[in-house]
Structure 1
Amino acid sequence: MTQATTLITGGAGFVGSNLAHRLLSQGRRVRVLDNLSRPGVEQNLQWLRQQHGSLLEFVRADVRDGAAVNQAINGVQQVFHFAAQVAVTTSLENPREDFDINALGTLNVLEAARARPVAPGVILTSTNKVYGGLEDLELSVQGQRYLPVDTQVAGTGIGESRPLDFHSPYGCSKGTADQYVVDYARSYGMTTLVFRMSCIYGPRQFGTEDQGWVAHFILRALRGERITLYGDGMQVRDILYVDDLVDAFLLAEQNAPRLKGRAFNMGGGPGNAISLQDLLDRIERLHGKRPSVAFDAWRTGDQRYYVSDTSAFQRETGWEPQVGAEEGIALLFDWLAARQEKRSSAALASEVVTAGAH
């Protein structure tokens, strides 16, 4: 009997490559569909190929291509749908492209899965942005971070009972995808569920200013480059180390027949909540010097406070984060510093070779 394949759309990205590595390490066959548009992801794909060889299958395609998605789902038992346009800023510049990738791309995945005699399970990564700007949340300033005045929210974070309030084209497109995935369980009985993600970080993340801010801050600091804080830097997020997220994915897959049709908030929770200013302090301790900082205006849809209440998923599966923020940030710092050092050494060796050729 041929072993069933797991499809990961966006599987060469940060989260996708970490999940693929875990599945492949367990001997599972993985098909990665990715258009390789995000800088650095070719390195993740190369790493997966080196580690796992023929267990990995790669399809270079775009989720906007319905025919390619339909073909990629052949013989698949489970789909992890991560392919997305991931930045609020980009969605504001080009809302149609954002919609086509996030909303239409997700519908392509769902329809390809539904067309199969036995529909594979589909797990979508959504976003905390489906809850909007949370402007009604009364906040106080404590130290260098915002905290809710409501002690219950401060203690537990934002739960799934929070009304949806899409803000920004990105919030709208991901919110559309989120609700389609939830509804395909109700309307068609498919085994689908959603993770509404907070901030994920860890190895194989090549952070940009618009997404992956923990890695972005560390990279800028390592290169001696200035970091721009939009707003005052006191905005708070709960951060979750990628290994803990992969654990959650596998538990979601195992329990999906029971949990289908639900959306779960997923992040590090109140115990792993930090402000942007807090991260600068951590980087200073790890790096030995404080990063250079500039300030700019607040950005559209930027929540001053968002921390996930993950208790619903914890109750259902027993999951909880294992890697605390301090440990995880140090692990990512070491991984990025080692990469930076390796690149610097390679550049220096190249210069020596070039100089010797004259």
Structure 2
Amino acid sequence: MTAQSNTTRAMSGRRPVLITGGAGFIGANLADALAAEGRDVLVYDALLRPGVAGNLAWLKERHPERISAVIADVRDAGSLAAAASEASAVIHLAAQVAVTTSLADPVADFAVNLGGTLTLLEALRRRPDPPPLVFASTNKVYGDLADLTFRRVGNAYAPEDQAILAHGIGEDRPLDFHTPYGCSKGGADQYVLDYARSFGVPTCVLRMSCIYGPRQMGTEDQGWVAHFLIRALEHRRITVYGDGCQVRDVLDVGDAVAAYRAALARIGQVKGRAYNLGGGPANAVSLRQVLSAIEAIVGHPLDLGFEEWRAGDQRYYVSDTRRAAADLDLAAPLPWRQGLTRLAAWLAESRGLHLEPQAVPA
């Protein structure tokens, strides 16, 4: 797992923002935004996921003087420490992201998600002036919410607890790690927070719900909004696990990028804290409701199939985003139907697929 020799350097003598997983979906959007405002960015990525090499090429083409890259795995401790040694700030996105993969290979899941995070934290702790780190956590740290009661209302589940229905799941919810993925990401989440307490490393955790948007190469295991759209555009069968009434709060990647940038800018005020990051109740939507909207966008019936529920899948998860909105001064998120329409247009264009203009809502 040694870094490839074709490591590129765009800057010289300047301290970049290090983004692990920087060629991924969120990382590429974040790198683009930071470079556009004049920040130097060091992308650290193993380029293992389909499409991410294209994201890196896109970044270099847009910002040749601002984007540099290290092609390496986060399990490569030497390369990761070297990249961290010169960073002015770190956004840690690199991860094994699929519950299904964690069940198939929990050791690798642990090594990437928890081992890689601890390696990075140690590299920062050893510096005389540890830079800030913002960590991409997950709503899976709250478990399957099995203690809550839900009822099905039409095509969506809703909680009986009216406070949760109104505001979502808050950060004071007890942690409850399920599946190896939940354990590895949850453990990393807690290590990141504790390094602020124990060692004074300025860290912040963002527990993300479902992020979607341009440059997302959605698969069946991760990135379900883009995955559904891709399958629909290509007239291919979409498999839904469960009954499709499970609810998530979806957030456009532009809003997620704004939150990460805000956390870095306010690290002195938010260090040592964890925030839920999602679309909130205003963008809470079931899989069936998204599929119905996709059908309207693509202009033809969808070919749907249903399979058994997958391990750790929550019937309902909606983020209480009030704390993040207040502390990070976040704007209201983009309405999900607008974001879905934008993503459909980007996917159609990027894949050379046809999308009837009249089928796309204004």
- Same-fold call, TM cutoff 0.5: yes
The one of 76, 81, 85 aligned to 1:65: 76
Say if 2:236 is the partner of 1:225.
yes
* Partner in structure 2 of residue 288 of structure 1: 299
- Aligned partners of 1:302 and 1:281: how far apart in 2? 21
Q: CA deviation at 1:158?
A: 0.3
* Partner in structure 1 of residue 24 of structure 2: 13
Give the letter aligned to residue 265 of structure 2. Answer: Q
The one of 212, 232, 245 aligned to 2:223: 212
Contact 2:233 2:353 in 1 (8 A): no
Q: Secondary structure at the match of 2:216?
A: coil
- Aligned partners of 2:354 and 2:281: how far apart in 1? 36
* Partner in structure 2 of residue 192 of structure 1: 203
- Aligned partners of 1:223 and 1:342: how far apart in 2? 8
* Partner in structure 1 of residue 33 of structure 2: 22
The one of 173, 178, 193 aligned to 1:182: 193
Contact 2:192 2:205 in 1 (8 A): yes
Residues 186/212 of structure 1: CA separation in 2 closer, same or farther (3 Å cut): same
The one of 170, 190, 195 aligned to 2:181: 170
Count of residues in Structure 1 that have an aligned counterpart in Structure 2: 344
* Partner in structure 2 of residue 143 of structure 1: 154
Contact 1:20 1:30 in 2 (8 A): yes
Contact 2:21 2:92 in 1 (8 A): yes
* Partner in structure 1 of residue 56 of structure 2: 45
Q: CA deviation at 1:317?
A: 2.4
Aligned residues with identical type, % of pairs: 53
Normalised by the length of structure 2, the TM-score is 0.93
- Aligned partners of 1:249 and 1:95: how far apart in 2? 28
Say if 2:166 is the partner of 1:155.
yes
* Partner in structure 2 of residue 303 of structure 1: 314
Measured against aligned partners, the alpha-carbon deviations of 1:210-255 in whole angstroms (never above 9, x if no partner) come to 1000000000001111111111000000000000111111111111
* Partner in structure 1 of residue 136 of structure 2: 125
Structure 1: runs of 5 or more not aligned? 345-358
Measured against aligned partners, the alpha-carbon deviations of 1:271-324 in whole angstroms (never above 9, x if no partner) come to 001100001110111011121000100000000000000111112122133311
- Aligned partners of 1:192 and 1:78: how far apart in 2? 10
- Aligned partners of 1:300 and 1:160: how far apart in 2? 23
Contact 2:234 2:353 in 1 (8 A): no
- Aligned partners of 2:353 and 2:325: how far apart in 1? 39
The one of 250, 253, 264 aligned to 1:253: 264
Measured against aligned partners, the alpha-carbon deviations of 1:77-100 in whole angstroms (never above 9, x if no partner) come to 100000000000000000000000
* Partner in structure 2 of residue 279 of structure 1: 290
Give the letter aligned to residue 342 of structure 2. Answer: L
Q: Secondary structure at the match of 2:88?
A: strand
The structure with the greater share of residues assigned to helix is 1
Give the letter aligned to residue 324 of structure 2. Answer: F
- Aligned partners of 2:233 and 2:168: how far apart in 1? 32
* Partner in structure 2 of residue 355 of structure 1: none
Contact 1:183 1:261 in 2 (8 A): yes
Measured against aligned partners, the alpha-carbon deviations of 1:319-338 in whole angstroms (never above 9, x if no partner) come to 13331101000000110011
- Aligned partners of 1:192 and 1:317: how far apart in 2? 14
* Partner in structure 1 of residue 335 of structure 2: 324
Measured against aligned partners, the alpha-carbon deviations of 1:80-133 in whole angstroms (never above 9, x if no partner) come to 000000000000000000000000000011011111121111110000000001
* Partner in structure 1 of residue 103 of structure 2: 92
- Aligned partners of 1:75 and 1:194: how far apart in 2? 22
Give the letter aligned to residue 229 of structure 2. Answer: I
* Partner in structure 1 of residue 7 of structure 2: none
Give the letter aligned to residue 75 of structure 1. Answer: E
Give the letter aligned to residue 63 of structure 1. Answer: V
Say if 2:254 is the partner of 1:243.
yes
Q: CA deviation at 1:343?
A: 10
Q: Secondary structure at the match of 1:240?
A: strand
The root-mean-square deviation of aligned C-alpha atoms, in Å, is: 1.3
* Partner in structure 1 of residue 9 of structure 2: none
Q: Which moved more, 1:94-103 or 1:255-264?
A: 255-264
- Aligned partners of 1:130 and 1:73: how far apart in 2? 26
Give the letter aligned to residue 126 of structure 1. Answer: S
- Aligned partners of 1:257 and 1:104: how far apart in 2? 26
